[in-house]
Amino acid sequence: TKTDEKGAFEFDIKLTDNQTSIFNIRCGEEFIPIIASPGENIILTSMGRLSQNYRIDGSAESEAVQQVSKLLTEGAITLADLSKQHMGEKDEAKRQTLTQSYVKKYYEIKRQHIGFIVRNASSLAALYALYQRLPGDDILFNGEGDVVYYRMVADSVCINYPTSRYLVALQRDIKRMEEQMKLQTELSEQLANPVGFPPVSLPNIYGQKVELADIVAKNKATLVYFWR
């Protein structure tokens, strides 16, 4: 769309299956996430940088998304600044202080992120927040235990949006995460209780009988290559 001479614009969004949907309003490389529901008249006002200084009215879900987006955007800027200071600092004591400040800020952002998800668990804003990360960060909070938050949001969102395609996708991700956890548990159990090696006894290149169990007992990686 194009703005008029006053910078204003408007357009209608056609919602798939008349369901509440997530969109991004983009301008260049910046964007504002919105969650639009049938019949909503959303008013977006932005001054300066699109993604850092805007106001959104007429959509409670979108206002909630703005909170978590602001948290992560401002948090990323603060962490990047601390990292830059750390790289340029030569005094070891000050570097350690900057490291502590970075770690403290990182976990503060993480706790606020999870707090937002818990408080808004029944909204699509929480579902959206599940998939947001700080730059270069792969985990939501504590890796394997993150599935707890995914399940919580899925159970809560199901009440307000039982037919949402986003809920279906979330449930699929939860199933995948649970299967990965099950596999990791099985692997851990097998490593803790390894199955014995088969009783292989073969001649080496010198014609001497070699027991596989004797080689493995030396705790070294062993390659057994069969050919004919």
3-state secondary structure 83-105: HHHHHHCCCHHHHHHHHHHHHHH
State percent of the chain over pLDDT 70. 96
Report CA-CA distances (Å) from 12 to 9, 112, 148: 11, 34, 37
Residue 118 has pLDDT above 90, yes or no: yes
What pLDDT is attached to residue 213? 79
Residue with tokens 């939501």: 140
Residue 218 has pLDDT above 80, yes or no: no
What pLDDT is attached to residue 221? 76
Residue 28 carries which DSSP code? T
Residue 22 has pLDDT above 90, yes or no: yes
- What does the pLDDT average to over 204-212? 85
Residue 31 carries which DSSP code? E
Spell out the residues 6+ positions from residue 15 whose beta carbon is closer than 8 angstroms to its own.
Answer: 21, 36, 37, 38
Spell out the residues 6+ positions from residue 18 whose beta carbon is closer than 8 angstroms to its own.
Answer: 38
Q: By the 8 A CB rule, do 14 and 32 touch?
A: no
pLDDT level of residue 195 (50, 70, 90 thresholds): low
Element containing residue 191 per DSSP (H, E): helix 165-192
